[in-house]
A and B are shown apart, each in its own frame.
Chain A
Amino acid sequence: MGKKIQINKEFVDIMPQDYLDLVDNGTYESPNRGWKDFGTATELIAEHSLCAGCPESIAFRHIMASIPNPEDTVMVGSTGCTSLVFPMIAVHNIHSLFGNQNAIATGLKRALAVRFPDRVKDVIVLAGDGATVDIGLDMTLQSWFRKERFTTICFDNELYANTGGQESGLMQKGFLAKMAPVGKKFEKVRLPEIARESGCDYVAIMTASKPSLVEKVIKQAVLIAREVGPTYIQIYTPCILEIGKQSMEGLQEMRTSEAPGERFKFREFISPEAQSFLDGLAEKKKAEKLAATGATS
C-alpha cells in the first residue's frame, strides 16, 4: 500500500471496515499489481449488483485488478449493466448519459493534461456494446480519429441486456431477440477492424475467461494509450440471462466462444509505434531484472 490513498486520522474510527481494508490492504501504488492479488489483497471492486454468475462481473474484477495505476486512473462509464457496478468501484468514475462516454473521456483526459502536465493520469472508458457501437458510435470513432489518449473497453454481450435483451449492432446475424422478431438481419458490426482503421494503436478482441490474458491486454492498452495513442478492447461478457444459460455456465460460454474459428478467438492488432513502445518497455524490464540479478549475485 502506497502513501497516496490515506484516511485522515480523525475519521478512522467512523469509516466502514471495508474502506479501512481497502486503504490498509488495497493495491493502489503497487507496481506489480494483477489478478494474482486475488485472495490476499482487498480488491477495488468488492461487490456488485449484477446477476449471479454474470461474466461481466468476472471481467470487471480482472480489469480492476489489472489497471496499472489505479491511484491515478479515472474511469468513464455509460448507461447499462456496467452503470450498476461503477458506484461500488474504488476509483473515481463518471456516469453522465447514455452513449457519450468517449466524449466525456475526451474532455476529462484533456482537462487532466492541462491541470497535471507532469503527472500520469489515465482515463479508461468501460461501456456496453449498445453504448459503444450503437448510440455512441459517432463519439467512439471521433475520439479515435482525433487520437485521444485513452483506452476504450467494450463489454460485448451482443445485445441490450439492462433493458431486457434487445437487438444491438454487435449481435450476431440471425439471432432472435426483442426488436429483432424475425432474427437480426445484418452481420455483427466489425468494430475491432473499424477501430484499427480509425486510428487505434492497439486493438484486442477476447473473452474474460483467462485472467492472465485480460491482465496483459489491459496493461498494454492503458500504457499504449498513455504514451502512443487510443486503444480499444472488446471483451465478450455474455448475458447468461438472455441466452438461456445458468449462473455457472458463463465461463464455459466464454471458453466455447473463443475456440479457434469462433468469433471471440483472441486477436490483437498492435501498430508499429505501439510495438516499438512495447519493445522498449520489455527491454527496460529486462535491464532492470539483469541489474537486480547482478546486485544480488
Chain B
Amino acid sequence: MATETNSRVPQIGQRNKKNQLITDPNEMFFLSPRTPSFLTGSEVIREAIRRASVDFSVAYPITPQSEASSLVGELFAEGYVGDYMRGESEFAVMGQCAGAAFGGARVFTTTAGPGTLRAFENFPMWAGSRLPIQVVFTVRGVNSPLTIQPDTLEIAFMLETGMLLWHAETAQDLFDFMLKGYYVAEQPEVHLPIGVICDGFFVTHTKDMVMMTPEDLALPHYDPYRSPVVCMDMEVPPVRMMRDPFVMKSNYISYMTHASWQLEIRAAIERSRKHTIPILDGLIDVENPDAEIMMVASGTAVSQAREAIRLFRDKGVKVGLVKIKTLRPFPTEEIRKATEHAKHIFVPEFNVAGWLAREIKSTIDRNGRVIAGPHVAGGMTMPPEIIVEEIEKHLAHRRNKELVHG
C-alpha cells in the first residue's frame, strides 16, 4: 500500500487535513496502541472508515445497514471522507462505486439482503474490471414474504463473483477486516473488490468491546497507479485497446481471452493468500484440533459453536472448532488439515441452504463425515443448547444405525 505520488495526497509520516498521521498499515495494525471501546457494529463501521482514508462513499438505505451508511455520511460532513452521496438504488450505487474506482478513488459502500441481489450484476463486473472497492454486507434474509431478519443465504450468491469475501464473527473482526481488507484488496497482484461480511443485527445492532487503533492514525491513501489495469483519469496516455472488440468475435482467440481473464481473477483471489495469512494470522482459527467431533463455521455461528464447545466440555465431551475467516479465498487445505482426525464434522449455519457445508463437502476427503447443520433461518437465533442437542441427536442416530446394520 504505497501512497499515491500526487503532491496533494499526504504520505506516510505526514498529516491529513483532519490531522491524522498517515501510518504504515502494518505499524497501524500491529504496533499502535489499542484502546477498548464499547460500540455497536454500525459504529464500528464508522470508526474503521474514519481511519481508512476513503475518497468516496455511496449510501442507500436498507435494513440493517442504514445506520452504518448514515454514520459514514457524518464522517463526510466532518471531513474524513472525500465525497459522499445517496444513490438511487443498489444497482446504481454499485455503478457509482465502480465509476469512482475506475477514476482512482478508494471506495466504500454497504448493503444487505435484497440490496445485494438488486446490485448483483455489478459484482462480477467489479472483479473483472479489477476495482478494489470495499462493500460491507450486513447480511439478512432475501426470501419472500418480506423479511429483514438475519440470515446468511445471500452469501451463497456472492461466492462465484470473483470478489474476496471475508466473514467477520464479531465487531472486532469487522473493524480489523475492514482496515486490513483494503490493504489486501489493493495489492497490485490482487487488486480485487472485497466483501467484508457481518451478520445483520447480531453484529450491527449489538454492542461489543472492540480494541481500536488510535483515532489520529489513518491508512495511506490508495495509489491508483499500482493497479494492474489503467486508471481512467487520462493521467497516463490512452491506448486504442483493440481493433476489434472481443464481444464481436466468435473465435478461439475471443473465447481464450474471456476464459483466461476469468482464470486470472480466480488466480488473483488465490494470490491474496500470501498477504492475508500474515495479516489475519491465517485464514482459519482452530480450537481442539485433535477432537473427533469438529464444527466448522463462519460468522456469528462461530460464537455459538464456541459456546456449544463449553457445554460439551461440561458433559466431558471434547469438541473442536474451525473458524473460517475468508470464504474467498476458501481455506481448502487448512480445513482439510484441521479436520483430518475428525470422525464427524458439523457445519452450523444461519441459512436454509447449507452452502458452507456444501463448500466443505466438495473440498475435503471422506466427505461423508460432513453433516450439514444444525441450520436456523429466517431470523432465528441458534442457541448453543440447540447445537449440542442436534449433534447429540445425530450421533445417537448414527450409533443406532451402526448397531442395527453394523
Which one of B94-102, B350-358, B367-375 is at the A interface?
B94-102
Q: Is B129 in contact with chain A by the CB < 8 A criterion?
A: yes
Q: Is A286 in contact with chain B by the CB < 8 A criterion?
A: no
Q: Which residue of B lies closest to A8 (CB)?
A: B237
Determine if B92 and A111 form an interchain contact, defined as CB atoms under 8 angstroms apart: no
The complex places the Cα of A103 from the Cα of B86 at a distance, in Å, of: 12
Interface residues of B in 124-168 (CB under 8 A from A): 125, 129
Give the residue among B6, B89, B92 with the most A Cβ atoms within 10 A: B92
CB within 8 Å for A83 and B247 given contacts A88-B242, A92-B234, A139-B92:
yes
- Give the size category of A's interface with B: 35 or more
Q: Is A49 in contact with chain B by the CB < 8 A criterion?
A: yes
A residues in contact with B237, CB < 8 Å: 5-7, 23
The complex places the Cα of A105 from the Cα of B56 at a distance, in Å, of: 14
Determine if A94 and B99 form an interchain contact, defined as CB atoms under 8 angstroms apart: yes
Determine if A92 and B230 form an interchain contact, defined as CB atoms under 8 angstroms apart: yes
B residues in contact with A83, CB < 8 Å: 245, 247
Interface residues of A in 91-135 (CB under 8 A from B): 91-94, 96-97, 100, 103-117, 121
Q: Which residue of B lies closest to A116 (CB)?
A: B233
Give the residue among B85, B234, B248 with the most A Cβ atoms within 10 A: B234
B residues in contact with A19, CB < 8 Å: 239-240
A residues in contact with B104, CB < 8 Å: 111-112, 115
Determine if B234 and A121 form an interchain contact, defined as CB atoms under 8 angstroms apart: yes
Which one of A70-78, A233-241, A258-266 is at the B interface?
A70-78
Interface residues of B in 112-133 (CB under 8 A from A): 121-122, 125, 129
From the candidates B105, B129, B247, name the one contacting A96 in the complex (CB within 8 A). B129
The complex places the Cα of A103 from the Cα of B102 at a distance, in Å, of: 12
Q: Is B264 in contact with chain A by the CB < 8 A criterion?
A: no
Question: Nearest Cβ in chain A — how far from B8, in angstroms?
Answer: 8
Give the residue among A6, A23, A89, A139 with the most B Cβ atoms within 10 A: A139
What is the 8 Å Cβ interface bit string for chain B, positions 215-246, against chain A (1 contact, 0 not)? 00000000000000010111001111111110
Q: Is B91 in contact with chain A by the CB < 8 A criterion?
A: yes
Determine if B245 and A100 form an interchain contact, defined as CB atoms under 8 angstroms apart: no
Determine if B6 and A115 form an interchain contact, defined as CB atoms under 8 angstroms apart: yes
Q: Is B359 in contact with chain A by the CB < 8 A criterion?
A: no
Determine if B234 and A114 form an interchain contact, defined as CB atoms under 8 angstroms apart: no
Question: Nearest Cβ in chain A — how far from B245, in angstroms?
Answer: 5
Q: Is B103 in contact with chain A by the CB < 8 A criterion?
A: yes
Determine if B103 and A46 form an interchain contact, defined as CB atoms under 8 angstroms apart: no
Q: Is B55 in contact with chain A by the CB < 8 A criterion?
A: yes
Interface residues of A in 142-163 (CB under 8 A from B): 142, 146
The complex places the Cα of A84 from the Cα of B243 at a distance, in Å, of: 9
The complex places the Cα of A76 from the Cα of B237 at a distance, in Å, of: 17
B residues in contact with A164, CB < 8 Å: none
From the candidates B96, B107, B243, name the one contacting A104 in the complex (CB within 8 A). B96
Q: Is A90 in contact with chain B by the CB < 8 A criterion?
A: yes
Q: Is B282 in contact with chain A by the CB < 8 A criterion?
A: no
A residues in contact with B99, CB < 8 Å: 76, 94, 103-111
The complex places the Cα of A23 from the Cα of B240 at a distance, in Å, of: 12
Question: Nearest Cβ in chain B — how far from A138, in angstroms?
Answer: 6
B residues in contact with A110, CB < 8 Å: 56, 83, 85, 96, 99-100, 105
Q: Is A181 in contact with chain B by the CB < 8 A criterion?
A: no
Q: Is B58 in contact with chain A by the CB < 8 A criterion?
A: yes
B residues in contact with A49, CB < 8 Å: 243-245, 248
Q: Is A87 in contact with chain B by the CB < 8 A criterion?
A: yes
Question: Nearest Cβ in chain A — how far from B253, in angstroms?
Answer: 14
From the candidates A74, A87, A89, A109, name the one contacting B234 in the complex (CB within 8 A). A74
A residues in contact with B98, CB < 8 Å: 96, 100, 103-104, 107
With A96-B129, A105-B99 already in contact, 12 other A-B pairs whose C-beta atoms are closer than 8 Å: A7-B237, A87-B242, A89-B238, A91-B238, A103-B87, A103-B93, A103-B95, A107-B99, A109-B103, A111-B101, A111-B102, A139-B92
A-B contact pairs, 19 of them (CB 8 A): A47-B243, A71-B234, A83-B247, A87-B240, A87-B243, A87-B245, A90-B240, A92-B232, A97-B121, A100-B91, A104-B96, A108-B232, A110-B56, A110-B83, A111-B56, A114-B105, A138-B92, A139-B95, A146-B85
Chain A to chain B: the 8 pairs with minimum beta-carbon distance, closest first: A107-B99, A103-B95, A111-B103, A107-B100, A111-B105, A104-B99, A100-B95, A108-B99
